[in-house]
Amino acid sequence: MSAERNLNDTELLSAYIDGQLTAEERSALESRLQNDAELRQQLALLRATVDLIRELPQLTAPRDFTLTPQMVRTTGSRRVYTFSLLSAAAAIVLLFVGFGLLTMRMQDVASRGYSSAESNFEPGGDQFQIAQLPTSTVVSTTFPAPELTHSEAYALEDQIESGADLESAAEQETFMQPPSTISAPAIPQLVPLTAAAEDDTSTSTTGEEFAEDGRLQDTAQAEGVAPASASPVEAVAPPSQEGAGGMLAFQATMPPPTATSLSTLRSIETALPTESPSDTPTRSPEPTLAPIATSTPPPVPTAPADSTAILAIVLIIGAVILLVVAVAAVIINRRR
């Protein structure tokens, strides 16, 4: 009997023991078994082997294998990390879309902003624009909401229906984190303009331009706003002309504190004439020292509360919330 034959027989016998042969196979094997003593012996031996294995006793576990919370924590961790990763990914997508919309919106506002600037500052309109155009980043950086001029405030009032909207928008702005990278051109360009603002409004170019405009001067004084610091307000739009770079600089000016922007917005809300000038002078130099920290609610005053801007802001806020949730989930999970 060849080894191969033996192997086949073993397989047949093995399946036979388990009752896994077809009816044909079984009857064929059984008739062979009747005539083949050696095959019968093989069957007996294999059966005895299987019986021995089956009779092996159940063992007693050497210890308890009960689970501790630590053992199964990785499950939660894994879920949390997956969740965080998805949240972060979603946040990035939302950020892209949000800023994309915002950029579009800003470009739109840019054209409007210039036309309004010309109409408001006719005497020095040309010069004003010349002064503003090249320093768009600066302007956006030094755009301190508290120094809004009266005319600007009115424009805003027209655009913004209710103060509540502004408030909520300002609160939403608090979610904005200033990016860690600051666009390089913003700082050097910032210095001359704000320095001028610090020195004396009448000596700075923009200051002179404002001084020429009596109406503006009046409102500025009435509001106790330093004219020089008002100039940046007009330049809200330019950053968008710089495209992504402009947006970066723009974003860099996102205010960590809300106090100033809130107060600004409230002042707009109440039409401003009696706004106390007390803290304005101290605030106006701020851009020079810490331009990044200047309070700037850019989308609110510049972009009218239209659906695009709101959508963009909502998307960005959603993204930030998602990011915060993702980070918080990881932190909480680690502490558990």
Query: Closer CB to other proteins, residue 67 or residue 244?
Result: 67
DSSP string computed for 6-54: HHHHHHHHHHHHTT-S-HHHHHHHHHHHHH-HHHHHHHHHHHHHHHHHH
In the bound complex, what is the minimum distance in angstroms from residue 3's beta carbon to other proteins? 11
Query: Closer CB to other proteins, residue 49 or residue 162?
Result: 49
Query: Closer CB to other proteins, residue 21 or residue 228?
Result: 21
**Contacting residues toward other proteins, per CB under 8 A:** 7, 10-11, 13-15, 18, 20, 41, 44-46, 48-50, 52-54, 56-67, 69, 71-72, 75
Query: Closer CB to other proteins, residue 14 or residue 120?
Result: 14
In the bound complex, what is the minimum distance in angstroms from residue 51's beta carbon to other proteins? 8
Query: Closer CB to other proteins, residue 10 or residue 120?
Result: 10
Cα 300 from Cα 108, distance rounded (Å): 14
- Let me know: does 255 contact 295? Beta carbons within 8 Å: yes
In the bound complex, what is the minimum distance in angstroms from residue 65's beta carbon to other proteins? 5
In the bound complex, what is the minimum distance in angstroms from residue 55's beta carbon to other proteins? 8
Nearest to 153 by CA among 285, 296, 279, 270: 270
- Let me know: does 269 contact 166? Beta carbons within 8 Å: yes
- Let me know: does 246 contact 239? Beta carbons within 8 Å: yes
Give the position of tokens 């027989």. 9
Query: Closer CB to other proteins, residue 65 or residue 158?
Result: 65
Give the position of tokens 């917005």. 265
In the bound complex, what is the minimum distance in angstroms from residue 90's beta carbon to other proteins? 24
Query: Closer CB to other proteins, residue 72 or residue 92?
Result: 72
What distances in angstroms separate CA 39 from CA 27, 31, 100, 165, one per listed residue? 14, 11, 82, 94
In the bound complex, what is the minimum distance in angstroms from residue 328's beta carbon to other proteins? 21
DSSP letter assigned to residue 290: -
In the bound complex, what is the minimum distance in angstroms from residue 312's beta carbon to other proteins? 39
Nearest to 236 by CA among 121, 105, 109, 104: 109
What distances in angstroms separate CA 229 from CA 18, 69, 274, 324, one per listed residue? 94, 60, 18, 34
